[in-house]
Amino acid sequence: MPTTKSLYGRRLPGYAIATAIVLTAAIGLAFFYAPIEADQGFSQKIFYIHVPLAIVTLGGFVFGGIFAIQYLRSGDTRHDLRSYTAIHQSLIFCIGALITGSIWGKAAWGQWWVWDEPTLVSFLIVFLLYCTYQPLRFSIEDPERQARYAAVFAVVAGVFVPLNFIAVRLASPLIHPRVLSSSGDSLPGDMRIAFYSAIIGITLLFITICKYEMSAKHSRAQLAALRRSLGGDGNEPAPTRSAAPRIALK
């Protein structure tokens, strides 16, 4: 008998409220507290969205790879679901980072796309690679094999990301605004508070959306299991091919 309490939805309201508060505060700080940047003017404000989006995207891809390793080691399908969700949402955040980066490029250099900008170019390559994750999953029918092959892909792609950044950076002159040095002290204090708030806000948004997706998938699986247990034999639709992981209910 499936459990009625959703495994992934327990802390969802708390995360959602925290996200709303922190993100609103971060936007407020970015627009009303942080000073206007001397060189780029108001257009620099997009930095408070673009950079956190990029950082969270990379973090999401890395976690997708880590969950994939855990899946390969344990065979636990929950890790596959986590890996899938992290990569799925990171891909959406990656589109956000590319679009905001492009807008920033237009404002700063007058062009929608700049090939001399290694970080943006690296992001495009990473985006193209991770775009193949869903088609790969979708083209394998057996759920166990789908999860295993997707995990292998996630590990390979996770290792590819830093290698790709090195290659693209070596091949391009450096013109991206260096807002953070390794010690993080190149950003004035007012800007730093707004920037860190934005990072926390976007991270919370990412976690909330991931939890929401996992919760929704889990609830749908529970509903299907309940329908089956109520004796709907013959009437239930045949399981369709899907890129999403098949959830095993205990």
Partner 1 sequence: MSAARPPSALSATRAVLYKELTLERRAPQTLTAMALFCASAFVIFHFALGRDEVEGALAAGVLWVTLALAALLGIGRSFVADREEGGLDGFLLAPAPRTALLVAKATTLLIFLLIVGFFAAVIFSVLLLGPTPNASQWASLALLIVLADLGIALVGTLIAGIAIQTRARDLITSILALPLLIPLLIAVTKASEPLLTVGGGTLAWRWLALLGLYDLIFGLLAYALFDYLVED
Read off the tokens for 61.
Answer: 């891809």
Strand partners, 209: none
Nearest to 176, CA basis, from 122, 139, 134: 122
Which CB sits closer to partner 1, 121 or 207? Answer: 121
107 CB neighbour count, 10 Å cutoff: 15
Phi, psi of 80 (to 5 degrees): -65, -40
Q: If you count DSSP H runs as helices and E runs as strands, how many of each does the chain have, helices first?
A: 7, 0
In the complex, minimum distance from the CB of residue 113 to partner 1, in angstroms, rounded to a whole number? 17
C-alpha 155/C-alpha 152 separation (Å) is 5
What number of chain residues touch partner 1 (CB under 8 A)? 28
Closest to partner 1 by CB, 58 or 209: 58
Give the distance, in angstroms, between the CA of residue 107 and the centroid of all CA atoms in the same chain: 25
Least distance from C-beta 132 to partner 1, angstroms? Answer: 5
- Footprint on residues 71-90 left by partner 1 (CB under 8 A): 72
Among 38, 110, 135, 189, binds partner 1 (CB under 8 A): 135
Q: How far apart are CA 10 and CA 165, in angstroms?
A: 37
Query: Looking at beta carbons only, is 21 or 131 nearer to partner 1?
Result: 131
Considering only the stretches 85-93, 106-114, 163-171, 225-233, report the one whose residues sit in contact with partner 1 under the rule CB under 8 A: 163-171
Which of 133, 134, 138 lies closest to 153, judged by CA? 133
Name the minimum Å distance from CB 129 to partner 1. Answer: 4
Q: How far is the CB of 139 from partner 1 (least distance, A)?
A: 4
Residue of 152, 174, 248, 249 interacting with partner 1 (CB under 8 A): 152
Is 17 a binder of partner 1 (CB under 8 A)? no
Task: Name the amino acid, one letter, at 138.
Answer: F
Q: Which is nearer to partner 1, 135 or 173 (CB)?
A: 135
Question: Which of 1, 4, 38, 163 is close enough to bind partner 1 by CB under 8 A?
Answer: 163
Q: Does residue 166 bind partner 1 (CB under 8 A)?
A: yes
* N-to-C CA span, the chain: 8
Nearer to partner 1, 65 or 101 (CB): 65
Residue 84 CA to residue 133 CA, distance in Å, equals 9
| C-alpha–C-alpha distance, residues 30 and 200, integer Å | 13
Summarize as ranges the residues that interact with partner 1 (CB under 8 A).
72, 125, 128-129, 131-132, 135-136, 139-141, 145, 148-149, 151-153, 155-156, 159-160, 163-164, 166-168, 170-171
